[in-house]
A and B are shown apart, each in its own frame.
Chain A
Amino acid sequence: MSSHVASLLVAGSLDALTYWSLAFMVAAGLTVVFGMLGFLNAAHTSFYMLGGYVAYTVAGATGSFWAALLLAPLLVAVTGVILERLLFAKLYRAGHASQLLLTIGLAYVIAEASKLVWGDSAFAVAPPPSLAGRITVLGATLPVYHLFIIGAAMVLVCVIAALLLGTRLGMVIRAASVHPEMVGALGFKVRDIYTLVFAVGLYLAAFAGVVMAPLEGVYPAMADDALVQAFIVVVAGGLGSLPGAFIVAGLLGLVQGFGSVFFSAYAMFFPFTVLGGVLLFRPVGLFGAKSA
């Protein structure tokens, strides 16, 4: 009996960590773009979906998941740069309502365009053979790929933190997120900094989409399925706060991971419970600014 509980706990913990990692990866780019640029991108998870679809195509053409993981986020980020220059940049000062209108419309366009290219079907993307197996820990059988997801999220957290807190470029980005006009008046081309941050945000979205593909496949409703969860993480964490998103993704992971093991019938309510619980005590989110 006790070994059964132990294996359930191990399985639940791994599920929790996997959900945590996925929820954070999907939300990270959204909150970076909002925190640094003040831009609310409702099409964020459309780029996550695009990452999945492009990965499916690249993996099919090359036979390599790793090639897909390398190329798909880059291709999506380049698309994002073009869209940022043509569309998003015009709305940085236009307020969140205009940004939402534009990006909700864009989400529809991307959804329909994806159907034209890839059709209505769902596709499976195979994980690389080296990550396809399972290992047994304390009686629980665990997919190796889940461990890869957790590792990838940890690497992302470290890379983002190192970039923002440990480099001169990160310092300029943080300065521009507070007083962009002043940063411009000091000789920095803020326009290019914004484009770069947007590209990084969409790279993160697409990266999450590629990582997610072997787990649940790629399918037309992928963007919608992830959007609500991404916004829950970003809003409950405090708009624009990366540490907040990290912690709320962890809370979501815990309730989802253990919830789906012990109370699977109610799993879909858990994210909203976390959102409601956090906002009840801190209406601006965990790390939200008072004025937000």
Chain B
Amino acid sequence: MLRVEHLQARYGRSQILQDVSLHSGASEVVCLLGRNGAGKSTTLKCLMGLLVPNAGAVSLDGAAITGLPAYAIARRGIGYVPEERLIFPKLTVAENLSMGIWHDRSQVPASIDRVLGYFPRLKEKLRARGNTLSGGEQQMLSIGRALMAEPRVLLVDEPTEGLAPVIVQALERTLLALAASGTSVLVVESKLAVASRIAARIYVMAKGKTVFHGKPDDLQDNHEIRREFLEV
């Protein structure tokens, strides 16, 4: 579904991504794991078209999407949940969700109903402004907004960061349910425990490169990779 080959990207003069290759298929959760500064979030920004790569290729179902602007990538069926959540603070929850549909507003009510199935807690908050929500609710809203257009691939950046364990469990269940419904879910994560619970496959990133690829059990058994690239 989503394939990334030898991706490179820079901010100004610093080359942040050196060589990133990965693949995320239908109906699976894939985790991108690594320490802070490894280039995980930058990778997602490149995939979403928010940063133009200076080398490498990204394709969706075989069609090249490298270097396309964000709106064009979104329209091809990729959803994005940024680390900062980027809720529109003065719009209501319902309006924030409706922002997830760019093309046909007649689909908004049915899509909101579908998304509320994943996040029933948002139902009673539909009229509340985005800036009045708790961190967990904001994360649900951010994911819900990305799901409005039924993306084939969902990019999620550190969804569990700073959230209470009970919310983390709920989000993990949601991501697994999404994958079970056919979506390709690519999650950036910094905690091995979370990645091990949800991922079918894990990529480890360090210094802008993908340095390991395997199943969670493979990573558990690989002390060298864990010690060198994951443990603090």
Extra contacts, 18 of them, besides A171-B91, A175-B88, A185-B71 (Cβ < 8 A), are A171-B95, A171-B99, A174-B88, A174-B90, A179-B86, A181-B86, A182-B82, A183-B99, A184-B70, A184-B71, A185-B70, A186-B74, A186-B99, A186-B102, A187-B74, A187-B75, A187-B149, A188-B102
One digit per residue, 1 when the CB lies within 8 angstroms of any chain B CB and 0 when it does not, for chain A 172-210 equals 101100110111111111110000000000000000000
Please tell me if A290 contacts chain B, counting CB pairs below 8 Å: no
Please tell me if A168 contacts chain B, counting CB pairs below 8 Å: yes
- Can you pick out 16 interface pairs between chain A and chain B where the beta carbons lie within 8 Å of each other? A174-B88, A174-B90, A175-B88, A181-B50, A181-B70, A184-B49, A184-B50, A184-B69, A185-B71, A185-B74, A185-B82, A186-B99, A186-B149, A187-B71, A187-B102, A190-B71
Please tell me if B118 contacts chain A, counting CB pairs below 8 Å: no
Please tell me if B103 contacts chain A, counting CB pairs below 8 Å: yes
Please tell me if B195 contacts chain A, counting CB pairs below 8 Å: no
Residues of B within 8 A of A191 (CB): 69
Q: A172-B99, A175-B99 are in contact. Are A185 and B75 (CB under 8 A)?
A: no
One digit per residue, 1 when the CB lies within 8 angstroms of any chain A CB and 0 when it does not, for chain B 163-188 equals 00000000000000000000000000
With both chains docked as a complex, state the minimum distance between the C-beta of B109 and any C-beta of chain A, in angstroms: 13
Residues of A within 8 A of B145 (CB): 186
Q: Which B residues between 77 and 118 are near A, CB-CB below 8 angstroms?
A: 80, 82, 86, 88-91, 95, 98-100, 102-103, 105
Chain B interface size band reads: 20 to 34
With both chains docked as a complex, state the minimum distance between the C-beta of B111 and any C-beta of chain A, in angstroms: 12
A189 partner, pick from B48, B49, B71, B105, beta carbons under 8 A: B71
One digit per residue, 1 when the CB lies within 8 angstroms of any chain B CB and 0 when it does not, for chain A 147-171 equals 0000000000000000000001001
Residues of A within 8 A of B71 (CB): 184-185, 187-190
Q: 5 tightest A-B contacts by CB?
A: A187-B102, A187-B74, A184-B70, A182-B86, A175-B88
A-side interface residues, number (CB < 8 Å): 18
Nearest residue (CB) in A for B102 is: A187
Residues of A within 8 A of B86 (CB): 179, 181-182
B74 partner, pick from A172, A175, A184, beta carbons under 8 A: A184
**Contact across chains for B91 and A175 when beta carbons are under 8 A apart:** yes
**Contact across chains for B91 and A186 when beta carbons are under 8 A apart:** no
Could you tell me which B residues sit within 8 Å of A by CB distance? 48-50, 69-71, 73-75, 80, 82, 86, 88-91, 95, 98-100, 102-103, 105, 145-146, 149
A168 to B97, CA, bound (A): 12
With both chains docked as a complex, state the minimum distance between the C-beta of A96 and any C-beta of chain B, in angstroms: 21
A191 to B69, CA, bound (A): 10
Residues of A within 8 A of B99 (CB): 171-172, 175, 183, 186
Residues of B within 8 A of A189 (CB): 71
A168 to B98, CA, bound (A): 9
A183 to B49, CA, bound (A): 12
A185 to B73, CA, bound (A): 8
**Contact across chains for B74 and A178 when beta carbons are under 8 A apart:** no
Residues of A within 8 A of B75 (CB): 187
A191 to B49, CA, bound (A): 14
A251 to B65, CA, bound (A): 54
Nearest residue (CB) in A for B96 is: A175
A174 to B98, CA, bound (A): 13
Residues of B within 8 A of A181 (CB): 50, 70, 86
A186 to B101, CA, bound (A): 7
Residues of B within 8 A of A183 (CB): 99
Residues of A within 8 A of B149 (CB): 186-187
With both chains docked as a complex, state the minimum distance between the C-beta of B73 and any C-beta of chain A, in angstroms: 8
Q: Which A residues between 4 and 59 are near B, CB-CB below 8 angstroms?
A: none
Nearest residue (CB) in A for B142 is: A182
**Contact across chains for B103 and A168 when beta carbons are under 8 A apart:** no
Residues of A within 8 A of B90 (CB): 174, 178
Residues of A within 8 A of B102 (CB): 186-188
Residues of B within 8 A of A185 (CB): 48-50, 70-71, 73-74, 80, 82
Residues of A within 8 A of B74 (CB): 184-187
Residues of A within 8 A of B95 (CB): 171
Residues of B within 8 A of A171 (CB): 91, 95, 98-99
Q: Which A residues between 56 and 90 are near B, CB-CB below 8 angstroms?
A: none
